[in-house]
Structures are given as C-alpha cells and as structure tokens.
C-alpha cells in the first residue's frame, strides 16, 4: 500500500499476465475423463489455454471447442478396446470368494494394462508430438495419476504437475506423499469393514492388503521401465508421483471413511461424471 503508483500499476499488469496460463492435459480414458472434462471447460472459460493429448482410439475422449486436441496413433482398434473394458465392467459385478475376485481382477488388469501401456508408449515415442510439447512452453501438467503417463511427461518437460483423482491402485498416493495409511485404521477395498475395527478385523484388513503388492507390480512395473528408458535414468512410479505439486482428491467423507491426508492433498468432492437431481 505504501508503494508508489507506478509500482502498483506494474504489479497489477503482471497479475493480469499471470491470470491465464497454458495447461497440458494428459487424461485417462473412461469415467476419469468425464469428470476432468468438466474442469477443463471451466478453465477455458476463465481464459486458460488447454491442450489435451489423447490417442486416436478411445472410449470417451473426444475433441471439443473448449480445448486443443493433439491426437496420436495407437496399435489397437476401437473394437479391441471396447471388448477389454466390457469384460472389466462385467467382472466387477460378479460375485465369488475373495480369491476368485482377486484372480479375475488380476486377469482383467493384465488385459486393460496392456492397452494403456501401449497408449503411453506410443505417446512418449511419438517424436513429432514430443517436439511440439517441448516447444509449446506449458505452465503446468494436469493429469490423472491412476496411470503415470502424465507424470512421466511432466518429469521430462520439467513442469509442475496437478493430479486430479479419486485414488491410485494399491494406495500409491500415500506412498508417494509419505501419508500415513495404516491397515489398523483405514479399511481396504473388498473388506466391507468400517474405520472402527476389532483386533481380528484389523488382521483381516492387513491380509487383504497383501494382493495389492502383486497387482501393482503387474500394472506399474512396465511404466517404471518405460520411464527409465525415456528419462535415461532409473526411476520408480512412486519417484514420479512424489513430484506432484497438488493432489486434487475427488473424495468426501460421505462415501469414504476418515483417513489421514497431507497438506497438498485437497478434497474437492462433488466432481462427478454427470449432474443428476437427487430425489428426497
């Protein structure tokens, strides 16, 4: 307030320049994209330039007048992708023992992971597209870290990254942020437990955590190898994820039990695939 008028004018002009930015978006297909698209529409309305990179074959990612779409070829057809995702959705609703569900999930994860890995591989090995991204001088990367392709690009381009997610498989968001995630307090998927457990229920919760180590190895180890080759140094997926500036978590404590959070993990809630009026 004590600054001279010319200084105030200069500062305000700099704020005006900083009001809008150039955002690189590396989305994940399916419902992940549907909720992110709502955010991109609002960012464009506020004057930000949004560039989305996406494969030519996808479930939900389509061009829009609200952002620039940069597409690249992938080695599979639309029919192959549709068939893989239809099988994954069917398996989610089939009943069975815990072991049967884990085996089914493991098999489906291998199929869909192969498609997503091919998508990421052909993105970072597309020299023309990578050259365009290098020359575009983006301010930040917005991505869903459920698959770390966006994190690989952010590291390669030396850009700050904003993560937009509900959760990452195997709780890697907690490992990457060094956030407490104790099995004695936080219920694991498929357990049907609450955040108040007896001793035997805590033992059960810990046992249900064991398969995550195998599932995550199937999903994420190929990305670690791909990133290491691309960045020309040894990296792990948690190494990449821990570089995030902000984690925008699509969580609330209506559908999720209370759990520890880190300062850069922000609960945004209410960002869904579609808006529907609830009945009484």
Residue 128 sits in which domain range? Answer: 19-76+109-267
For residue 213, being part of any structural domain is answered with: yes
For residue 159, being part of any structural domain is answered with: yes
What is the dihedral sign for C-alpha 219, 118, 131, 66? Answer: negative
For residue 86, being part of any structural domain is answered with: no
Q: How many domains does the chain have?
A: 1
For residue 196, being part of any structural domain is answered with: yes
For residue 162, being part of any structural domain is answered with: yes
Predicted structure pTM score: 0.81
Q: How far is CA 247 from CA 131, 191, 278, in A?
A: 28, 26, 28
Rounded CA separation 280/277 (Å): 10
List the pLDDT tens digit at each of the 280 positions of the chain: 445 545 444 444 444 445 678 999 999 998 889 889 988 999 999 999 999 999 999 988 999 999 999 999 999 888 888 887 776 677 667 777 877 877 877 777 777 888 889 999 999 999 999 999 999 999 999 999 999 999 999 999 999 999 999 888 888 898 899 999 888 888 887 788 888 899 999 999 888 888 777 777 777 899 999 999 999 999 999 999 999 999 999 887 777 777 788 999 998 876 565 556 656 5
For residue 278, being part of any structural domain is answered with: no
Q: What is the DSSP letter of 171?
A: G
User: Which residue has tokens 């001279």?
Assistant: 4
Q: How far is CA 28 from CA 37, 84, 106, 142, in A?
A: 11, 15, 20, 11
Backbone angles phi, psi at 279, to 5 degrees: -80, 180
> Two tokens at 251?
């969580």
For residue 46, being part of any structural domain is answered with: yes
Domain at 37, CATH number: 3.40.50.2000
Of 71, 40, 47, 45, the closest CA to residue 58 belongs to 71
For residue 140, being part of any structural domain is answered with: yes
Rounded CA separation 101/93 (Å): 10
């Amino acid at each position: 307030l004590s600054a001279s008028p010319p200084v105030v004018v200069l500062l305000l002009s700099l704020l005006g320049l900083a009001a809008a930015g150039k955002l690189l978006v590396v989305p994940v297909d399916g419902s992940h994209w549907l909720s992110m698209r709502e955010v991109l529409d609002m960012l464009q309305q506020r004057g930000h330039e949004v560039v989305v990179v996406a494969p030519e074959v996808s479930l939900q990612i389509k061009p829009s007048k609200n952002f620039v779409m940069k597409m690249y070829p992938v080695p599979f057809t639309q029919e192959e992708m549709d068939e893989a995702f239809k099988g994954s959705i069917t398996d989610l609703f089939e009943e069975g023992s815990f072991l049967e569900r884990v085996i089914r999930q493991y098999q489906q994860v291998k199929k869909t992971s192969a498609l997503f890995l091919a998508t990421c591989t052909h993105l970072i090995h597309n020299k023309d597209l990578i050259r365009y991204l290098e020359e575009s001088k983006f301010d930040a990367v917005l991505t869903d870290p459920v698959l770390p392709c966006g994190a690989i690009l952010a590291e390669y381009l030396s850009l700050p990254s904003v993560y937009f997610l509900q959760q990452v498989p195997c709780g890697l968001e907690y490992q990457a942020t060094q956030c407490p995630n104790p099995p004695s307090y936080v219920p694991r998927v498929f357990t049907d437990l609450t955040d108040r457990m007896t001793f035997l229920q805590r033992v059960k919760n810990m046992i249900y955590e064991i398969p995550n180590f195998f599932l995550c190895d199937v999903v994420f180890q190929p990305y670690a190898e791909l990133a290491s080759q691309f960045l020309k140094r040894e990296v792990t997926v948690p190494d990449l994820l821990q570089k995030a500036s902000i984690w925008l978590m699509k969580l609330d404590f209506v559908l999720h039990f209370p759990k520890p959070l880190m300062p850069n993990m922000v609960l945004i809630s209410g960002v869904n695939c579609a808006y529907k009026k609830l009945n009484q």
